[in-house]
Structure 1
């Protein structure tokens, strides 16, 4: 079937110091986090930022599902620690459900 793309958004706490620290963490993520992402079937991941708004583009293979990734993450202490640390910098985007971090974006155009 081939790889597919997923686009997601999230906001950061609107604080320049926290945003700089968040970017520093993402310049070199821990190997355990990298491994958990690729083991879930993520082939490529990019995160972009404008002000405190984040946009993530993931390319995933046929083995990937958000349910499977959530199960893998829940069983991984390193991922749980990383997510708890990242939540210090993150905040729910307007319109997100309670407890929801990254939200799906709908593709509305392709050229």
Structure 2
């Protein structure tokens, strides 16, 4: 299993943030299926203000490149992503077109002995 952590910002608008959270209380079944089919075992998203933090646990064979190809070829995923982008904004450090930015692990208690 691999773990990835990613960050993204939401537009700083309380009403839009509430809508975004409502969408995630019952994601479309096709979105859940596409996440699982890509090799993601568990996904959690946390929010502080307008900053989002995602934790993904994946199978060892998971790759972002493969997931991107799957997503590009899935019309429902494209509709979901387009809808979500209404609420999201790129981090200041994101590359052009980049949404979720992979975070660097800088500390692990188990590795600090």
| TM-score, with length taken from structure 2 | 0.95
In the TM superposition, what are the counterparts of 1:24-103 in structure 2 within 5 Å?
24-103=22-101
| Pairwise CA distance, 1:86 | 0.2
Structure 2, unaligned runs of 5 or more: none
> In 2, are the aligned partners of 1:5 and 1:59 still within 8 Å (CA)?
yes
**Is there any run of 5+ residues in structure 1 with no aligned partner, and where?**
none
- RMSD over aligned CA atoms reads 0.5
Aligned residues: 109
Displaced runs of 4+ in structure 1, greater than 3 A? none
Alpha carbons 1:40, 1:63 under 8 Å: kept: no
Q: Secondary structure at the match of 2:91?
A: coil
